[in-house]
Structure 1
């Protein structure tokens, strides 16, 4: 059977990459489908099929859920490294998340909500860091195809992210949406949750039925056993291991700034789009929620191009752009995306009551385009980096820590979005844009030092 050390470093990617691609696609379908209707479900009245919560309580629950799912991968990664293989962890996580979504479908109560969320949070802790680590295990540590592979893998995330809100919204607000004789609306939220559960089950059936064929023995043993020396005690971290780990932790601090800006998509950018962007095309007004599909659409279109670019550069004499430089480029591109909106805000103002003319739709489209380009330079490259440099015995743990940085960013992003009401969109958008560009340039100045730490070998 193939192992990470024996898979040939050829031009084509191993077929196992595409199996993991589809497994992740279905998991993201499940996650984003549930998340798409969560706030609507929490705030809708009980008689309408919701839980009847006030907006503030619903927002706190939503924020807690979307934040904590990025912290449990630390625990799931640690358990996987020490006690179970990647493949087992992915299966456990998938089953738990399917149960979580099914609980939301079955029990339309607050207790059912909390039980379902608990299963989803724990399941995500097992699934999320380990499937990304599994992609890295398909390649030798220094295989030049890794950045391209993770960019392809990233497409799976975004295909799921694109389709699931459309399906969930259709089920909840269209197909199962009715109005009774009293004029009360009834929504099919539970059917959206069921669709998410079914999507998770489909992904797991495909993964477990084909994993032996396309993945061989990769991911069947805990990293602790793989890292052991001659079957004895697990090898200790070397000096080079520690340098690479420290470099990862430093970069995790940098990416917090990126995601704090990027995650404005669901909050301040959505509100600005709703109130200040002219969304009419001809006689049709584009729904605000549809703008959330711009990012995954751009990902699917641009990911193959960016992937091909990294692969082409890796075969030139000059070689590929190093990881830290790519990440600094990503931060600068995100900042430019916010700066693009500054003329729009100057044109419209920040007070909805004083609007005389709304900004052109292209402002927000180009903002999302630059944010997507920045994401492609930073996020899949970061996942690839962890798989390249993380010591075997703590690979999944480091992947979990890397994802926890996004959890911190979500909390910061919410605080920043809350300030738009008191400070204004001009101040928030320009501040985020300027700060992320500056931080990106700082990262660029220290990129050689950090890259040397990442490349450290004993």
Structure 2
């Protein structure tokens, strides 16, 4: 039976649910974080001003994506992927419980540091295990990462609804506690079933041996160097994508809280709940995108990886054009209390999601294909490095929200994103050549 008709291995679904609970934990916390930082003590928050809170948010979400570089290297050389995932999951669970303990800057600092360290062990290595379930040329690999990515977004969909409701109704500590409980649940399932469903995959570092049984440390080949260069170039472009995309949790969240009309049939939708709009679109559209790529591939019309990513950046920019529309709607109103229509925000999230589907799952699959075997976890960390730089940049951008105004911020991101997307499209043919046959 050909690989295109075979079912996916059961291990994929274990990794799917493990990642789903980890993302439940992370996105449940992230949906509350900027509001938790800016709310007053009487409201259960820490009372930071918007600039301080945006910088804290940006540096935290940035370093969450820096530590995978270190965690990936440790897994490649010493720990293996399986053990790293367990270390990371338990460390993040402790971080969430620390945030739930007390609304205090000390507990905030310790909790965020534990989340940063834990994510470094967890994030790159679970993605590597997905790729290792399949031979290098297996045509099911792109489909597997699409399925895996849906697990990411099911967790991201449920989490803000649950933790946001608990935060509004009972206080932020119960939201953080629930995020930690989700992480614990995922680790219980993972550690109970991993030996049965994953076999020996990821149990120890991948070490190449020469004919005498000694460790082989040959330099990279010309093809490996070219493919690695492509990863670094695409990481640089993706940094700008994520800097704009991650405004969802900072400047767009702050704008939504103050200036978007969230009233529907007499009920005010909590701002945290709107963080679930993106994952709803992901779950809805991911199968359609998968079918689209397969259909285009059948007729030899499927775009290359760089073309898909360039289109993703343009779609991000168009989403911010809609946010410019929301800002202009408010500014053209006579009343200072006027709020923009919710549909502007929903439309922006739709375009951002389409851009994400052109870029993020494609990138995970691409790294697993292009990376040298002995460096695959490290290179997955390099891929997440774009999110590290982007989240810090995004936090700095959001910190000027009060000074520059929403219109200036949204318009600037729109212009830069579209321009960089066009540049990436113009480079796509050259990058495809440097991928040396990898599709």
TM norm. shorter chain > 0.5: yes
5 Å matches for 1:11-160?
Answer: 11-42=6-37, 57-106=52-101, 109-160=104-155
Write out per-residue CA displacement over residues 137-194 of structure 1, whole angstroms, 9 at most, x where no aligned residue.
Answer: 11222323322221221111111112122222233331xx3xxxxxxxxx3x333332
Find the aligned partners of 1:415 and 1:107 in 2 and give their Cα distance.
27
Partner of 1:435: 416
Find the aligned partners of 2:310 and 2:28 in 1 and give their Cα distance.
32
- Corresponding residue to 2:201 among 218, 221, 239: 218
Partner of 2:353: 372
Find the aligned partners of 2:323 and 2:101 in 1 and give their Cα distance.
43
Q: Offset at 1:253?
A: 0.5
Find the aligned partners of 1:157 and 1:34 in 2 and give their Cα distance.
15
Q: Offset at 1:131?
A: 0.6
Does 1:347 find its partner at 2:329? Answer: yes
Look up the SS of the partner of 1:219 in the other structure.
coil
Q: Offset at 1:222?
A: 0.6
5 Å matches for 1:261-280?
Answer: 261-280=244-263
Does 1:240 find its partner at 2:223? Answer: yes
Partner of 2:306: 324
Check the 8 A contact 1:96/1:123 in 2, yes or no. yes
Look up the SS of the partner of 2:302 in the other structure.
coil
- Corresponding residue to 1:251 among 220, 226, 234: 234
Does 1:445 find its partner at 2:426? Answer: yes
Question: Which TM-score applies when normalising by structure 1?
Answer: 0.87
Coordinate RMSD, CA, aligned: 2.7
Cα–Cα, structure 1 residues 367 and 250, in superposed 2: closer, same or farther, change >3 Å? same
Query: What residue ranges of structure 2 are gaps of 5+ in the alignment?
Result: none
Check the 8 A contact 1:243/1:456 in 2, yes or no. no
Find the aligned partners of 2:176 and 2:311 in 1 and give their Cα distance.
38
Q: Offset at 1:200?
A: 1.2
Q: Offset at 1:211?
A: 1.6
Check the 8 A contact 2:241/2:417 in 1, yes or no. yes
Look up the SS of the partner of 2:138 in the other structure.
coil
Check the 8 A contact 2:50/2:399 in 1, yes or no. no
Partner of 1:425: 406
Q: Offset at 1:203?
A: 0.8
Cα–Cα, structure 1 residues 32 and 80, in superposed 2: closer, same or farther, change >3 Å? same
* Deviating more after overlay: 262-271 vs 292-301: 262-271
Q: Offset at 1:48?
A: 6.7
Find the aligned partners of 2:198 and 2:363 in 1 and give their Cα distance.
23
Write out per-residue CA displacement over residues 423-453 of structure 1, whole angstroms, 9 at most, x where no aligned residue.
Answer: 4433332322222112111111111111221
Partner of 1:3: none
* Deviating more after overlay: 237-246 vs 336-345: 336-345
Does 1:167 find its partner at 2:167? Answer: no
Find the aligned partners of 1:280 and 1:107 in 2 and give their Cα distance.
32
Partner of 2:275: 292
Check the 8 A contact 2:79/2:204 in 1, yes or no. yes
Check the 8 A contact 2:153/2:279 in 1, yes or no. yes
Q: Offset at 1:22?
A: 0.5
Check the 8 A contact 1:162/1:296 in 2, yes or no. yes
Check the 8 A contact 1:144/1:311 in 2, yes or no. no
Question: Which TM-score applies when normalising by structure 2?
Answer: 0.90
Cα–Cα, structure 1 residues 339 and 173, in superposed 2: closer, same or farther, change >3 Å? closer
The alignment covers a number of residue pairs equal to: 436
Check the 8 A contact 1:334/1:371 in 2, yes or no. yes
Query: What residue ranges of structure 1 are gaps of 5+ in the alignment?
Result: 1-6, 178-186
Find the aligned partners of 1:281 and 1:39 in 2 and give their Cα distance.
24
Find the aligned partners of 2:425 and 2:261 in 1 and give their Cα distance.
37
Check the 8 A contact 2:12/2:130 in 1, yes or no. yes
Check the 8 A contact 2:60/2:112 in 1, yes or no. yes
